[in-house]
Amino acid sequence: MTEALESWLSAPGHHLLQIDDPHYPSLLREISRPPPVLFVCGNLDALILPQLAIVGSRNASAEGAENSRSFAAHLAGTGFCITSGLAEGIDAAAHLGALHAADGRTIAVCGTGPDTVYPRRHTGLARQIVASDGAIVSEFAPGTPVSRSNFPRRNRIISGLAVGVLVVEASVRSGALITARHAMEQGREVFAIPGSIHNPVARGCHQLIREGARLVETAADIVDELGGLLAGLRSDDAPGQQSANRPPAAAGSPLSAAQPDAAHAELLVAMGCNPVAVDVLASRCGLTIGELSSMLLILELQGLVRSLTGGRYQRVNRSVE
């Protein structure tokens, strides 16, 4: 054992997992080239939670970053641990979205040693992930510096840990597409959010959709596809690790398949059938713009409302009891 590794392991919350360790993630063990060891900083129990990877462009658009945050927050609220790569753009937004969810957990997989945060500006984010019962994971030993060749290797771990991968934005040469193709090879579900044909960081998502990835417009699409895995994966957890589990989404939670609660149902009635501006809705309902925006986001992610140009919204033609 090197002096750097021995020093790193002496710190609280630092772990070295060999592939036969009971804490080693079972899904990762199944891939064709599983890392023989993992260096983990944080809560080992986060590794046994059902994980959904969210990845995408470092040069994310404002809309892409917001999609990443909102999808991550609501998916974390249903019980998924959000896994990503701690990079700029979509990755960072996904981690932040998960952290903003009630009891949300997130895992960052690094292309450096576990003692090096890259980019350096995400040092605070890495600390927040660990402080919130998440984890920093790497196959590279402490002291391993930044190297371009390490990140494609890192990507197979991101997909290998997860039951599915969501690509939010990606160019046709993005590392996110490498992660998605690893996921396809590993038999994991791949989801992609479509974008404007004029947006270069949407073209990778469109390419994935042509190759068989599932087009998603709301987080509910992902929950509908993978939600059943939550209970199944939890049933396989070790008895001593049940405290780390999250219950599945309750009937009234934002992304449940249940009908909206009374306040949201009243908002849908106030919207009527035609497109309506947010300020008009605020006047009708007596709500602040902030309150209304939050409710509209939840309804949009449930697939009950769609956003239009000019800050307008319209009900989706779907029965609400």
3-224 against 262-315: fold identical? no
My answer on whether omega of the bond before 152 falls inside 30° of 0, hence cis, is: no
Tens of pLDDT, residue by residue over 100-114, are: 998 899 999 999 999
Is the pTM of the predicted complex or chain greater than 0.85?
no
The candidate with the shortest Cα–Cα distance to 293, out of 66, 128, 111, 132, is: 66
For the domain made up of 262-315, the CATH class stated in words is: mainly alpha
Question: Which residues, 6 or more positions from 1, have their beta carbon under 8 angstroms from its beta carbon?
Answer: none
Q: What residues form DSSP beta bridges with 165?
A: 53, 190
Amino acid 320: pLDDT:
33
| Rounded distance between C-alpha atoms, residue 311 and residue 223, angstroms | 27
Of 235 and 50, the one with more pLDDT? 50
| Rounded distance between C-alpha atoms, residue 274 and residue 267, angstroms | 13
User: Domain locations in the chain?
Assistant: 3-224, 262-315
Amino acid 251: pLDDT:
32
Tens of pLDDT, residue by residue over 12-28, are: 999 999 999 999 999 99
Query: The tokens of 71 are what?
Result: 């999808």
For the domain made up of 3-224, the CATH class stated in words is: alpha beta
pLDDT at 240 over 50: no
